[in-house]
Amino acid sequence: MTAKGRGTRAAHEALPEAMREAIDAFAGHLSGVRNRSAHTIRAYVADVVSLFTHATRMGCTRPADLDLTVLRSWLARQRTTGAARATLTRRAASARTFSAWAHRSGLLTTDVAAPLTSPRAHRELPTVLRPEQAATLVELAGASSGPTATARTGAAASDAPPVEAAVVSTTEGDPVRQRDRALLELLYATGVRVSEACGLDLSDVDQARRVVRVFGKGGRERTVPYGVPAQRALDDWLRHGRPALATPRSGEALLVGARGGRLNPTTARQIVGAHAEAAGLPRISPHGLRHSAATHLLEGGADLRAVQELLGHSSLASTQIYTHVSVERLRAAYRQAHPRA
């Protein structure tokens, strides 16, 4: 558990019993009825714990004591402590979701947060790699000049075999490097979220059709294709790398860590960052590779609706931000090349 998670748990335990019970029931609702991911549930719970902690300082002892004044005071305090606009927007949304549920459940006589407003989240243009930079990143991932297993994954990777080959497409390659190459190729080729990539099982990969079955937000299933380079990396990993690292605790996990357990998103982020640094590329995260994949698809002429489906966006508005990136790149090229720019 992270320090933030421990802090939330301690704050939860310090609340009055009625508030603790309401939070636990709300978390159960998000999991069992709304089918939200564990990450989303943790965020909602942390926000409601923060709200109730503030409410107790204002004399509240049970959910029914909440009112719009308390909610607005809570958000105002977030602003004074320097919370980002996106954080305020999310916390207001968490409060509205909790309030609506509590009203339906009879814990609140009215939906007190329904009128609550929050600043519109500012959507910044994502940072993306150029196509040649993305190619450099994935191609160097299996090279002997890349970061060592220990540098990438910490002490847990120290038992990985030494590097035997300059590229991963050999039977004698380092299995950790083969895993890293497969991860990077998969992230860039499919644009999946890092949590989705780490959640893939062996049965989710159809090598004959070159597609992966992905379970995204809300448990929504989609099928995403990938290309020949990713196929080669996956084949090398499945034939040689994974058997070298797999243990009984690996289960059906497609991607495993150096100790055999399922690769977790935190380690995956460290892997991506370390390889980008070793390649001399801009700082990039798995989400940055997702941004890059979407942008390159659109720049290559892909239909916006098709990209929406590939990324698993429930709303087209989430996908449209990538058109802005492409326009900015076009504008930059125009300024550089046109004599009357």
> Among the options 181, 242, 275, 290, which is catalytic?
290
Closest to 313 measured CA to CA, from 212, 229, 193, 204: 193
State the Cα–Cα distance between residues 191 and 291, nearest whole angstrom: 7
Which of 9, 130, 217, 324 is labelled catalytic? 217
Q: Alpha carbon of 93 to those of 52, 86, 218, 254, 305: distances in Å?
A: 15, 11, 17, 35, 27
Compute the distance between CA of residue 127 and CA of residue 118 in angstroms, rounded to an integer.
26
**What kind and span of H or E run contains 213?**
strand 211-215
Q: Which of 72, 130, 313, 324 is catalytic?
A: 313
Active site residue 42: no
First to last CA, the chain: 53
Catalytic, out of 72, 259, 287, 324: 287
Has 313 been annotated as catalytic?
Answer: yes
Has 290 been annotated as catalytic?
Answer: yes
Catalytic status, residue 217? yes
Phi and psi of 224, rounded to 5°? Answer: -125, 130
Q: Is 322 considered catalytic here?
A: yes
- Parallel/antiparallel/unpaired status of strands 221-225 and 211-215: antiparallel
Which of the residues 96, 193, 291, 296 is marked catalytic? 193
Contacts of 23 (CB under 8 A, 6+ apart): 12, 15, 45, 48, 49, 52
20 is catalytic: no
Ramachandran bin of 218, using left for φ above 0, alpha for ψ from -120 to 50, beta for the remaining angles: left
* Distance (Å, whole) CA 198 – CA 192: 10
Catalytic residue (one of 44, 188, 226, 322): 322
Determine how many CB atoms are found less than 10 A away from the CB of residue 98: 27
Angle at the Cα of 281 from the Cα atoms of 277 and 283, rounded to 5 degrees: 65
C-beta atoms surrounding 40 within 10 Å: 16
Contact (Cβ atoms closer than 8 angstroms) between residue 42 and residue 28: no
Q: Phi and psi dihedrals of 215, rounded to 5?
A: -110, 110
100 and 110 Cβ atoms separated by less than 8 Å: no
- Residues designated as active site: 193, 217, 287, 290, 313, 322
